[in-house]
Amino acid sequence: MSSLLNPYLNFRGQAREALDFYRSVFGGELSVSTFGEFGMEGMPPDQVMHGQLTTPKGFTLMVSDTPEQMPLHEGSSITIAITGDDVEDLTGYFAALAEGGTITVALKKQMWGDRYGSVTDKFGIEWMANISDPAVDA
């Protein structure tokens, strides 16, 4: 038996747009259910009740829209980390996440030997990349 830990992001009417953006960054398959599909009265029928992106690299990202009548806790201190030693993939993800967003730390070699950078994407989600150098780690 296994267990997984997946980020679940909440938006105010931007979940579908965010899913499409993250799919353009990471690739993968989308699964989207709307409030309307489940007959949720009083909820915006076209907004996302649950969306999930499953990528070829094994990432799973879940999202939903938070209707106006429900609280949305914006500005949380959560950061999503993408890590590993696949320099090409991780550098590409970082660059794509930065499109329309703000790079807070440029992706470059750090004192601990890895390449590190952080970015806030165009939806206000914070990401950090830490890319280890397999030649150094060997």
User: Is the torsion defined by CA of 86, 78, 15, 50 positive or negative?
Assistant: positive
- Full-model pTM: 0.83
Please give the domain boundaries of the chain with CATH numbers for all domains.
8-65 (3.30.720), 79-137 (3.10.180.10)
Q: Which residue has the higher pLDDT, 38 or 105?
A: 105
Number of C-alpha atoms within 13 angstroms, CB side, residue 40?
A: 16
Predicted pLDDT at 74: 66
More confidently predicted of 137 and 35: 35
Q: What is the pLDDT of residues 126-138, one digit of tens each?
A: 999 999 976 654 4
The confidence score (pLDDT) of residue 111 equals 85
Identify the pLDDT of residue 123: 93
Q: Tell me the mean pLDDT in the region 56-67.
A: 92
